[in-house]
Amino acid sequence: MIAHIIVTPKPVVNDPQGVTVRQGLASLGFREVLDVRVGKYIELSLDISSEHEARERVEEMCRQLLANHVIEDFRFEVIRNGRR
């Protein structure tokens, strides 16, 4: 199975990286950009055949290592190799 995980700063948390990107885009002329949030994208290849088990394990990985639950949210999808 493949897992696609997105980790984002919580809405109430400052995102200085996002502010920097917004300023960079503005200085290039992209003034239509109102707000930028920058997070992480993590793709896992898993030696698991059950989608249910994969979901449980990925959830646990996010809680233990991939996301900092104090300041970050996470969401993910699990895909049978190559197809959703």
- How many CB atoms are located within 10 Å of the residue 5 CB? 21
- Interface mask toward a copy of itself for 59-78; x: CB under 8 A: -xx--xxx------------
Q: Which amino acid is at 72?
A: E
30 binds a copy of itself (CB under 8 A): yes
Size of the site for a copy of itself (CB under 8 A): 31
Q: Does 41 help bind a copy of itself (rule: CB under 8 A)?
A: yes
- Yes or no: say if 63 and 22 are a contact pair by the CB < 8 Å rule: no
User: What single letter denotes the amino acid at residue 41?
Assistant: Y
Read off the tokens for 18.
């996002």
Give the binding site for a copy of itself (CB under 8 A): 6-8, 21, 24-25, 28, 30, 32-48, 57, 60-61, 64-66
